[in-house]
Amino acid sequence: MLTDFFLYIAQGTAVTIGVTLVALPFGLAVGLLLALLYNYGGRWVSRAAGLYSLLMRGVPPVVLLFILYFILSGRLINLSPFWAGSLSLGLVSSAYQMEILRGALAAVGAGQMTAARAIGLTRLQAIRFVILPQAIRLAIPPWSNEASIVLKDSSLVYALGVPEILRRAQQLSATTGQPFLAFGAAALIYFALVFLTNRALDSLAERTKLPTQPV
Amino acid sequence: MDSALILQARNLTKRYGANIIFQDISLDVQKGETIVIIGPSGTGKSTLLRCLNLLTHVDSGQIFLEGEEITAPGINEDRVRQQIGMVFQNFLLFNHLTALDNVMLGLTKVRKLPKPQAHEKAMHELARVGLADRAGHYPGQLSGGQQQRVAIARALAMDPKVMLFDEPTSALDPELIGEVLGVMAQLARENMTMLVVTHEMGFAREVADRIVFMEKGHIVEQGAPDDLFERPQHARTREFLWKITELYGKKEKK
């Protein structure tokens, strides 16, 4: 009975991980593009990217999720709840990831661009081979934070009927009358996932750290 | 030294808003010549160098590299910069790359050399600045002097026609200045064409073929080091040289 109980919630874990694995990389791709446009795109493009970020970050994620969901699963585009929910979550995250990346790009400093152009690299080559590899290193710690937020916010797609951890916990709580056990199990799984994600990204940051000590 | 004109600046003017950085600067650089540009801070020396390799654009005037106007509209600026090496005050090595990869990047991405040839050429340039044994080190693992020598190797790897040095020793501890100036003096002996902005008067006097004194956006006076140091024509040149020699002398005694 108890194993069935846990098994039922654990099956939602795969869905939660699935939602995160769609939302996070999608948000990264959009966020990176926007960060590059913001930093290197000229005045109007930069302003447009800034406005996007401002709007997306100024509204609660769950409200945006509903709006985007009804666009993505509407008459024009008709995606399944899983895909519509995951991509919506990704778009919400893209604004936050953009902020992380544009800060990291700026932190690399204008001098690196100057030095790259001085040996004849084009702007795009300079961004690709000189600026980005350094910016991404700087972005890993704040990005790790955003990754755990997306992982936890994936519980919001529960409202769209996607059978992830929280929705299953809710169902179990209702059918078994054991809310503490049901939501406690959900909390435990979320915690474990966030913990593992942060640990993995910490170790990535450690492994890509640039040496500064004399050899 | 043959007297072929390699770089020619004609009536260059640069403004930032209403602020005139330099005005009506003309300068002819002969192949193999070492020119040292001196003058007070904020005189437009660094901006002039950055204009010469098109990192910044002049508001008016023309620049010619081996007779070709590089300020002409539609010029491929990346190709021009590739032919003019630049060394910066704060080194600006690519921090995520080893010394070797810093030197190789331009060879593989700009000159499109195959990896083995780029590696060989990069090692040759590192050896030229005395750092072949530091090839695998990251900038964070090198001293300031070593970083600047890697930066010189990175510029040399592109086989530039002219090398620009923008206060290359100003950010260095006094005991590290010598190794960088040594590499530069060696380049001058190898007849590299060089434009050097510096406050190192000893270097200017010994290595330069010509010294240009700039102040307030103008070239006040230029000439051979001995003429300029012994018989400056303008009062301002005299005053500046006296001040800076005084300063330099004091630093030496410390």
Mark yes or no for CB contact B105/A119 under 8 Å.
Answer: yes
Which residue in chain B is spatially nearest to A111 when comparing CA positions? B92
Residue A113 corresponds to which tokens in the numbers above?
Answer: 């661009």
Residue A5 corresponds to which tokens in the numbers above?
Answer: 């109980």
At B3-19, the pLDDT tens digits run 699 999 999 999 998 89
Question: Of A116, A125, A214, which is closest to B141 when you measure between CB atoms?
Answer: A214
Which residue in chain B is spatially nearest to A119 when comparing CA positions? B82
> Taking a C-beta distance cutoff of 8 angstroms, is the pair B162, B82 a contact?
no
At A18-52, the pLDDT tens digits run 999 999 999 999 999 999 999 999 899 999 999 99
Q: Could you give the angle at which helices A2-40 and A43-57 cross, rounded to 10 degrees?
A: 150
Among all chains, which residue has been given the structure tokens 């979550």? A89
ipTM score of complex: 0.91
> Taking a C-beta distance cutoff of 8 angstroms, is the pair A169, A7 a contact?
no
> Taking a C-beta distance cutoff of 8 angstroms, is the pair B161, B65 a contact?
yes
Instruction: Summarize the confidence of residues A54-58 as an average pLDDT.
Output: 93
Instruction: Summarize the confidence of residues B52-69 as an average pLDDT.
Output: 95
Mutant choice from A108, A112, A114, A119 vs B, greatest count of B C-beta within 10 A: A119
- Is residue A87 over pLDDT 60? yes
Instruction: Report residue A79's pLDDT band, with 50, 70 and 90 as the boundaries.
Output: confident
Amino acid at A27: G
Tell me which residues of chain A have a C-beta less than 8 Å from any C-beta of chain B.
111-112, 114-122, 125, 129-130, 133-134, 137, 210-215
- Under CATH, which number does the domain A2-208 receive? 1.10.3720.10
Number of residues in chain A: 215
pTM of the complete model = 0.89
C-alpha pair distances (Å), A1 with each of A8, A87, A90, A168, A186: 11, 36, 37, 16, 17
A–B interface: beta-carbon pairs under 8 A: 74
pLDDT of residue A78: 82
Query: Is the CA virtual torsion B242, B243, B247, B250 positive or negative?
Result: positive
pLDDT of residue A1: 61
What residue ranges do the domains of chain A occupy? Answer: 2-208
Instruction: Summarize the confidence of residues B27-41 as an average pLDDT.
Output: 95
Amino acid at A168: R
Mark yes or no for CB contact B90/A119 under 8 Å.
Answer: no
Question: Of A118, A129, A134, which is closest to B109 when you measure between CB atoms?
Answer: A129
Full strand arrangement of the beta sheet holding B19-30? B19-30, B5-16, B60-65, B68-69
Question: Of B95, B110, B141, which is closest to A119 when you measure between CB atoms?
Answer: B110
C-alpha pair distances (Å), A106 with each of A102, A154, B8, B92: 6, 30, 36, 15
- Is residue B157 over pLDDT 80? yes
